[in-house]
Amino acid sequence: MNDWEHQNREYEECSRCREAKNQLQTAVNQQKQTLTQIASEQQRDVQLQRDLASARQTLTEKQAERPALDTELARMDGIWTPMKEMCYSTYDEYKVQLDAWMIVDVPTFYDKSCEKACLETSLVDAGCGVMEGAFQGDIYKVGHSEMNPGLRTVCSPPFASFIRSPVKYGAKPETETELCDRLYGNAGQRPRQSSYISLKTVMYKRERLFRRWRTRFFVLEEGSNVRSALIRYWDKHPSLANATEANTVKSIIVWDATSVKAEPGSLYGWRDGSECLKLSHFYRDFRLCVKPDVPENGNETAAAIRDQWVQRIQANIRFASRATR
């Protein structure tokens, strides 16, 4: 018991000693930090004293210059005051003449302007923008009450021509109609489509499984160098209620078709004047027949329309040699 009490006293003494040592070390660190701050502030005080001395010297120099400056100011006021009213009236006259010149003469420089060069030379074949998708009326409008939905483009320039109508100087601004008429006079200032509808008609399509013939409304959406032409079709004319387009999986990608050829309607048992074509793809064959006496066909025969489809499809096949079943 005596040994334990002795050891406990030694432990408590060591703990108190360690705590006192930590407090002392903290005080020493704080002292070093404070001394460093004092040295920094002393150096800053020396610099501020130098700045103050320099500012006082500059003030003394400027105060010595003021009498001469006051004398010069009084002399210039003596010159300006008698001319002040005349000069201000000249400003007004200048503005009137400037506005008149800008309104009357500046528009005559249009033929030599950068604006004309931009609109009629550098942008002659640039277009206003590439529109992705069909325009309104591309798929149907003739003979039907409404146009198909699609992209509607309008001419709405953000600014009028400064040269033709310097509004800032009082000129009458060009109306949007006048401005658009002038811009659309340049063939390059037309919206471009990434694709467009070149053919559309009602045709029979033979089913894959049951080989039944179904009436469908087809359109050929032309492609470009970066996009394949597509054959899209609906279960009935798109303007009719509840018309449904085949989903994108059923749209026919023309680029990788293998071949297309015209075939007589009699080959498939048609006796009504229908004419057919066979479009071979790497995954299946499509047999389509143009119906006679379809209002959309106008006066063209079924054979003539069938031949147009064959020609346009053939022109859009790109990778026939790479497509294999």
Q: Is residue 38 assigned to a domain?
A: no
Q: Is residue 119 assigned to a domain?
A: yes
Does the pLDDT at position 47 exceed 70? yes
Q: Is residue 74 assigned to a domain?
A: no
**Partner residues linked to 289 by β-bridges:** 204, 276
pLDDT, tens digit, 9 for 90 and up, residues 98-124: 999 999 999 999 888 888 877 766 555
Q: Is residue 90 assigned to a domain?
A: no
Q: Is residue 95 assigned to a domain?
A: no
Q: Give the model's pLDDT for residue 181.
A: 80
pLDDT, tens digit, 9 for 90 and up, residues 239-295: 787 888 886 667 899 998 999 999 999 999 999 999 999 999 888 899 999 998 877
From 194, 214, 238, the end of a domain falls on 194
Q: Is residue 66 assigned to a domain?
A: no
Q: Give the model's pLDDT for residue 21.
A: 92
Question: Which strands, in side-by-side order, build the sheet including 285-290?
Answer: 252-253, 230-234, 213-221, 197-206, 285-290, 275-281, 257-264
DSSP type of residue 110: G
Residues 249 and 213 in one domain: yes
pTM here is 0.54
Residues 223 and 114 in one domain: no
Residues 211 and 313 in one domain: yes
DSSP type of residue 200: E
Q: Return phi, psi of residue 198, to 5°.
A: -100, -30
The residue among 89 and 310 whose pLDDT is bigger is 310
| Average pLDDT across the chain, whole number | 85
DSSP reduced 3-state for 283: coil
Does the pLDDT at position 127 exceed 60? no
Count of structural domains, the chain: 2
The residue among 318 and 141 whose pLDDT is bigger is 318
From 194, 210, 241, the end of a domain falls on 194
Q: Give the model's pLDDT for residue 287.
A: 94
What is the CATH classification number for the domain harbouring 272? 2.30.29.30
Q: Whole domain around residue 113: which residue ranges?
A: 105-194
Does the pLDDT at position 177 exceed 90? no
> Measured between alpha carbons, how far is 237 from 140 in angstroms, rounded to an integer?
9
